[in-house]
A and B are shown apart, each in its own frame.
Chain A
Amino acid sequence: MSTAAPAPAARLRRIAGKLLSAVLVLLVAASITFFVQLLLPGDRATVILNIRNGRDQQWPAEEIAAINHQFGFDRPLIVQYLDYLAGLLRGDLGTSYTEFRPVTAVIGAQLLPTVVLTVGALVVAWLIAVTVTLLTVRRGRILGGIGAAFEAFTASLPHYWVGMLLLVAFAVQIPIFPVIGGDTPAGTVLPVLTLAVPLSGFLGQVLREEFHKVLDQPFITTARTRGMSDAAVRLRHALRHAVLPGITLSGWALGALVSGSVIAESIYGRPGIGQVLVTAVNNRDVPTVAGIVLVVAAVYIVANVLVDLAYTLVDPRLRIS
């Protein structure tokens, strides 16, 4: 059977299918966050008035009514829902209860530092994992054992513990990096490592197992019969095959890193979505929380599209199926 490139129509259909499912996921995420707001205890207007005034009390009916009118809570539920969705289409995530500005503005300013942090962590985790794998898999019992132990150890470290340890070691005891670095390059190093080290353990375990399997493949022997050195065989042949499961894991990891960033950002006092989320949850600022949930959902979707893309780049066989 011929395995020519798929017809353009088939490829278009595939891409359209992917986009449609992405939109559906976002719609479901948006709907859930909208209805969860309604399920929260307490009247929303009362909540808002309490937040604004920093008190916890009952408010007169006219003040409640004014707030209800201002935020549109007095309209039928379905209208509010559709209005919310229409807002999303225009890129309007609602108005923050505490900051009196659009949620997009609240999140927007903080998005870039978080993206730098998470993507940086993913890249560094890959670098660590690949280096450890290349250097230790099938390099004798001792090196292999050290590599496997390193991965098992780092994979089991909690973020907050790594964060505190790095902070004490490299910002306090040996002050190479600032304790509170904001989003300066020097201040980014420790937060990135905080997230990258445990992830590199996870990735490394997956890489190691696959690398082991690949090194037993006949095409590796073929490469050796051509006179290739062990290092070249690992780099040119084995690695590309071994990274595939790691790429799948990366889609999940990118999402998990966004939630992990909450911890790294609080420890290092770094601006970012994580910080905003913590504040918003504490203040019961539901529109901001909902906005962040949507952004994280979008990150997951984008990450998975990127994973698909990376996968077909590494393994062209998947372009067919």
Chain B
Amino acid sequence: MTAGTTGIAAPAPATEIPAPLVRVEGLRIRFGAREVVRGVSFTVEPGRCLAIVGESGSGKSVTARTLVGLTGHGAEVTAERIEFAGHDLQRLGERAWRSIRGREIGYVLQDALVSLDQLRRVGDEVAEPLRVHKRGTRAERAAAAVELLAAVGVPEPQVRARQRPYELSGGLRQRALIASAIALDPPLLIADEPTTALDVSVQAQVLDLLAEAKERGRALIMISHDLSVVARMADHVAVMRQGEIVEQGPAEQVLHRPQHPYTRALLDAVPSEHTRGQRLVRPAAGQPVVRRERAPIDRSRPVLDARGLTKVYTGPDEVVRTVVDDVSFQLYPGETLGIVGESGSGKTTTARMALALLEPTAGEVLLHGEPWTALTRAQRRSRRRRIGVVYQDPLSSFDPRWSVGRLLVDALSTGPRPPASAEEARARTVRLLDQVGLSPERFDAAPLRLSGGERQRVAIARALAPEPEVIVCDEPVSALDVSIQAQVLDLLTDLQDELGVSYLFISHDLGVIHHMSDRILVMKDGRVVEQGDADEVFERPQHPYTQQLLTALPRLAAA
């Protein structure tokens, strides 16, 4: 497959600094009265990668979509210049746009699960750009799809091409999506959060794939909120905030010698081994950096003691799967135990058994040395309040018709000191809101109207209300932007210092786990492969799997 033959993409001249393939100057985008992009300029050269970094709503995706003329319904786009290979994109008609899309510019959308048509075969999806641009016969296109899948490292490409996207794992799906975008080997590839929601090892494979396209001289625009991913890929970084590029320059400079305070805050907010024991949210100018004072953990009596937890499922296809296999751990008062592992490793199943929401096939969990999972439901009820939970998506665990106040009052009444009067309930709820950094006005708010970070604060307040000794946090920050994530992680740390609550902290994000945990449990295929002190595990991983995970982890060098 070769690049397009329309002549729109002239081959890059073989000079040291190639001429820009994309040149955007003064781009403004508004939806009605709302201006979402305000005067953005950048260039991308062949064989180089521009990373646009920013939080959700910063305008980065809409900027990228403008480059393929798909800004969105009702968008008003103006710019001094939007050029691709010397052609003015602002003057293209719909037909000309269609000849560019897929052939000159490949676009990889975020989240392959929803970005591939689930009802069509993977092969048809991958080969669709060929069909749209009338390349080859049906049989040739089918063969090309298999070749493309093989080229992006999909094993058994012939089999996969006949399957449908939902039958593939997340990593394979993402690779299929990329295969489709590079089917016509376009000179420019735009990837919008190509590795979000992928496990680290899969993420590394996908990044390698994009790096390979870059080596072949393709220009790459990558959109990401993940700075460590950006550090690995980008030659040039543009930091976007509220529709403006606040800082841009060579990657090395932006990531290591950031000039703008926002870039600095963004970099500080990334949890990693370097951030342990310090706050992620940068203190206001002039305020000293406070290091966390940790009281020594008393390891004589565990609050939560899991012994040989095993969960076996028999699927509808009568295949027996051992999802969790002989998992044991102890969680001590005031401690954070991190459970890390890739999707399908049994983390969440373990958490559900610890919460006694799921009956173990074998083994048991003791709470304060007393039976917990072995109790009957009725016996458990009086102790239920001692162990709370915070999920990734709090909204699905809120009754959508209840106000924040009602949710919290309800949670308080399950605690050891149920409020005696409506006034007391209100006062204690307001105190809870204050504890998690929400204003008293939030009492009457509907959870639906809150931002993601605020919802997670409400979820934490609800977990705290019945004064538990343990809170199970199941991917509590995975859906949040890095700066919001930083605030929530800081909040959890503060609450632990203040209340002495223990966390069973589950995450697929090694940086988050390392930042938060005192001890770590590494899970793979339902088994614990490594367990120990957090620094110990990260610095001297014993098990090959842990070593592999840490190698695959893209990192920001120490700031």
Is B462 an interface residue, CB under 8 A from the partner?
no
13 CB < 8 A contacts A-B: A1-B321, A6-B316, A10-B317, A10-B318, A218-B109, A221-B65, A222-B109, A222-B177, A225-B181, A226-B128, A227-B132, A317-B118, A321-B316
Is A293 an interface residue, CB under 8 A from the partner?
no
Shortest CB-to-CB span from B101 to chain A, Å, is 4
Give the distance in Å from the alpha carbon of A299 to the alpha carbon of B118 in the complex.
32
Given A219-B114, A240-B119, A317-B166, 17 more A-B residue pairs with CB atoms under 8 Å apart are: A2-B319, A3-B167, A6-B316, A6-B317, A7-B317, A10-B318, A223-B117, A224-B68, A225-B107, A227-B103, A227-B132, A228-B102, A229-B98, A241-B117, A315-B119, A316-B119, A321-B316
Given A226-B128, A227-B98, A229-B98, are A314 and B119 neighbors across the interface (CB < 8 Å)?
Answer: yes
- Most interface-central of A4, A9, A225, A317 (chain B CB within 10 A): A225
Shortest CB-to-CB span from B498 to chain A, Å, is 40
Is B180 an interface residue, CB under 8 A from the partner?
yes
**Are A317 and B344 within 8 A (Cβ)?**
no
**Are B167 and A219 within 8 A (Cβ)?**
no
- Chain B residues, Cβ within 8 Å of A58: none
Is B100 an interface residue, CB under 8 A from the partner?
yes
Shortest CB-to-CB span from A9 to chain B, Å, is 7
Shortest CB-to-CB span from B134 to chain A, Å, is 10
Is A237 an interface residue, CB under 8 A from the partner?
yes
Give the distance in Å from the alpha carbon of A240 to the alpha carbon of B107 in the complex.
23
The answer, among A4, A7, A219, A317, for a CB contact under 8 Å with B115, is: A219
B101's nearest neighbour on chain A, judged by CB, is A227
Give the distance in Å from the alpha carbon of A315 to the alpha carbon of B289 in the complex.
56
Shortest CB-to-CB span from A105 to chain B, Å, is 46
Given A6-B316, A10-B316, are A221 and B70 neighbors across the interface (CB < 8 Å)?
Answer: yes
Give the distance in Å from the alpha carbon of A4 to the alpha carbon of B98 in the complex.
37
Within 8 A of A (CB), among B311-363: 315-319, 321, 344
Give the distance in Å from the alpha carbon of A3 to the alpha carbon of B344 in the complex.
13
- Chain B residues, Cβ within 8 Å of A9: 318
**Are A226 and B180 within 8 A (Cβ)?**
yes
Give the distance in Å from the alpha carbon of A10 to the alpha carbon of B101 in the complex.
45
Q: How large is the interface on B (under 10, 10 to 19, 20 to 34, 35 or more residues)?
A: 35 or more
- Chain A residues, Cβ within 8 Å of B167: 3
Shortest CB-to-CB span from B503 to chain A, Å, is 28
Is A173 an interface residue, CB under 8 A from the partner?
no
Is B142 an interface residue, CB under 8 A from the partner?
no
- Chain A residues, Cβ within 8 Å of B129: 226-227
Closest 9 CB pairs of A and B: A225-B107, A226-B102, A227-B101, A227-B102, A218-B115, A226-B129, A227-B98, A219-B117, A218-B114
Shortest CB-to-CB span from A319 to chain B, Å, is 10
Shortest CB-to-CB span from A203 to chain B, Å, is 20
**Are A223 and B317 within 8 A (Cβ)?**
no
